[in-house]
Chains A and B, each alone.
Chain A
Amino acid sequence: MAKITFITKDQESIVVEGTAGSVMELAVQNNVKGIDGDCGGVCSCATCHVQVDPASADKLGEASEIEQDMLELDDDANEYSRLCCQLQVTEALDGVVLNVVK
């Protein structure tokens, strides 16, 4: 079980709990605005862009090459950017804070 906090563009804080699947699916299930996941979670559309709160950045591994490349589609991407369809919900993510970019 991991508790994940999404902070939307209009500063709404949404705390959700998940056990499996991707963070994108968890966000969509919980109606987190700004996370669309148009491609269904295969790193093809860049519509699930989040920026990890620097304080919880060490809970996540590195983005893959393809994920990094896809992030370049978005001019708002920075060093904390991730496509959350590529983040699997595991215990390791417990407590992570993600800022939704769109």
Chain B
Amino acid sequence: MDNNKCCVIIGGSHGGVNVAFSLRKEGWEGKIVVVDKDPNLPYQRPPLSKTYLTVKDESGYIPLKGEQAYTNEGIELLLGQEVTKVDKSTQSVELNDGTVISYDFLVLATGASPIIPPIKGIDKAKHLFVMRNIQDVKGIQAALESGVQKVAIVGGGYIGLETAASLRKLGLEVIVFEREQQLLPKVKANVLSEFLLELHQNNGVQIELQSSVSEIKNECQIQTIITSEGKAFECDMIIMGVGVYVNQTISNQLELDYNNGITVNAYCQTSAENIYAVGDCNTHYNAIYDQSIRLESVQNAVDQAKIVAKSITGTSEEYNSLPWFWSDQYDVKLQIAGLTIDADNHIIRKEDEKKWSIWFFKGDQIRSVYAINNAKAYVVGMKLIQQNAKLDKEKLVDLNEKLSPKTLLIQNEINV
């Protein structure tokens, strides 16, 4: 392989870093450069809203790879630097310090950024944070040190709820505002939303549903959140967890096809042949669900990274992973296999109050499993969804039946 070639990767989180290491694994001998504006050695993001927020030391900071690994593999890390310009015609990127790097292959692992909604008074808000990187967590921790007691979290999705759980662990007063009538509004089973509502309330979180924030007031040293219904809530700190938008600065400059994310084919190739996009920033076709989707997950970033490396090194393989996710809140571990986008019915298997699972179907065909403190259900679900299996729902809800692929398959579907 030509070792004079260069692959430039913009973005050094789960996607970008894994592209770099996977390239070496696939035998790429050329140069590899990873650029990221975050000055920290690339690190795990999921612990930020969980462990990292709750510990005072650095034990929540888990680098994706040790520093030595980059040296050993000949991966050049340009941290604390930003790509300011990209030029498709000269195949080069320019950094904020003026350095120009030519590329043969360009990988966009540019991710997404938290949305800060244009709420009246937000420009004057005190201790306003998002939850995306180490700087955010450090900022929150510093504010807590300065005596913050009441925290308002805007958004009852995963980030908001995980952050709420972590802050309660630290003993803070927490109130969560969710615009829709249930927590996790995108989830198709309100039984989970209700379970989480009770969980958080039992742990002392105040939850305000159907409450969108219309104004943030700062008068006489007091910060108040005003909801659209006119209710007022005092708070010292505000954390926004209302979703993300795809970072488009680079892809716009490159004039790449875009549809809710940078459009890529099965090899994560964008509309420009030698430019790839991985992770949160791309929209790709998922064959299991027969739809174009954009995912925000570690699994998607890591698995796509491997696909990109294979394509660049000439051993192309189509991306065909089953999505999976997890969330940890208090002592509850939620594990999710698959997507519910085409599900039309669901049933619940309940081992006990704390250990249960929701099984989503399209007809009899299993599409997704939400496992609550039930890794077994998650694992069995992963296997069955991958098999495109139809399940015997009566057996599924019968606790005398073992939770295993063999028992749950509709008999005449076995070996088909």
- Which residues of A (63-102) have their CB < 8 Å from a CB of B? 65-67, 69-70, 72-73
- CB-CB nearest in chain A for B71: A31
Report which of A20, A40, A67, A69 forms a contact with B46, defined as CB distance below 8 A. Answer: A40
A38 at the interface (CB under 8 A from B): yes
Q: What are the residues of chain A within 8 A of B383 when measuring CB–CB?
A: 73
Q: What are the residues of chain B within 8 A of A66 when measuring CB–CB?
A: 333, 373, 375
Q: What are the residues of chain A within 8 A of B376 when measuring CB–CB?
A: 69, 72
- Which residues of B (47-96) have their CB < 8 Å from a CB of A? 47, 50, 59, 62-66, 68-69, 72
A1 at the interface (CB under 8 A from B): no
Report which of B66, B298, B299, B382 forms a contact with A31, defined as CB distance below 8 A. Answer: B66
Give the distance in Å from the alpha carbon of A31 to the alpha carbon of B383 in the complex.
Answer: 30
- CB-CB nearest in chain A for B59: A21
CB distance from A31 to the nearest CB of B (A): 4
CB distance from A96 to the nearest CB of B (A): 20
Interface pair B379/A73, CB less than 8 Å apart? yes
- Which residues of A (36-82) have their CB < 8 Å from a CB of B? 36-45, 65-67, 69-70, 72-73
Interface pair A69/B63, CB less than 8 Å apart? no
Q: What are the residues of chain B within 8 A of A29 when measuring CB–CB?
A: 63, 66
CB distance from B331 to the nearest CB of A (A): 12
B326 at the interface (CB under 8 A from A): yes
A30 at the interface (CB under 8 A from B): yes
**Given the known A-B contacts A40-B47, A73-B382, are A31 and B375 also in contact in the complex, defined by CB atoms under 8 Å?**
no
Q: What are the residues of chain B within 8 A of A38 when measuring CB–CB?
A: 14, 298-299, 302
B328 at the interface (CB under 8 A from A): yes
- CB-CB nearest in chain A for B25: A33
Report which of A25, A30, A73 forms a contact with B62, defined as CB distance below 8 A. Answer: A25
Q: What are the residues of chain B within 8 A of A43 when measuring CB–CB?
A: 333, 375
B113 at the interface (CB under 8 A from A): no
Total chain B interface residues with beta-carbon distance under 8 A = 30
- Bitwise interface map of B from 13 to 34 toward A, beta carbon under 8 Å scored 1, else 0: 0100000000000000000000
CB distance from A16 to the nearest CB of B (A): 10
B265 at the interface (CB under 8 A from A): no
Give the distance in Å from the alpha carbon of A45 to the alpha carbon of B337 in the complex.
Answer: 11
CB distance from A85 to the nearest CB of B (A): 10
- CB-CB nearest in chain A for B375: A69
Interface pair A28/B66, CB less than 8 Å apart? yes
Q: What are the residues of chain B within 8 A of A39 when measuring CB–CB?
A: 46, 298, 326
- CB-CB nearest in chain A for B382: A73
Give the distance in Å from the alpha carbon of A31 to the alpha carbon of B328 in the complex.
Answer: 27
Give the distance in Å from the alpha carbon of A74 to the alpha carbon of B50 in the complex.
Answer: 26
- CB-CB nearest in chain B for A29: B66
CB distance from A8 to the nearest CB of B (A): 13
- CB-CB nearest in chain B for A30: B66
Give the distance in Å from the alpha carbon of A41 to the alpha carbon of B333 in the complex.
Answer: 13
Report which of A28, A40, A44, A67 forms a contact with B335, defined as CB distance below 8 A. Answer: A44
CB distance from B351 to the nearest CB of A (A): 11
- CB-CB nearest in chain B for A42: B328
Give the distance in Å from the alpha carbon of A101 to the alpha carbon of B333 in the complex.
Answer: 26
B365 at the interface (CB under 8 A from A): no
Interface pair B382/A41, CB less than 8 Å apart? no
B residues whose Cβ falls under 8 Å from a Cβ of A: 14, 44-47, 50, 59, 62-66, 68-69, 72, 298-299, 302, 324, 326, 328, 333, 335, 373, 375-376, 378-379, 382-383
A residues whose Cβ falls under 8 Å from a Cβ of B: 20-21, 25, 28-31, 36-45, 65-67, 69-70, 72-73
The 6 lowest CB-CB distance pairs between A and B, nearest first, are A69-B375, A40-B44, A31-B69, A44-B326, A29-B66, A69-B376
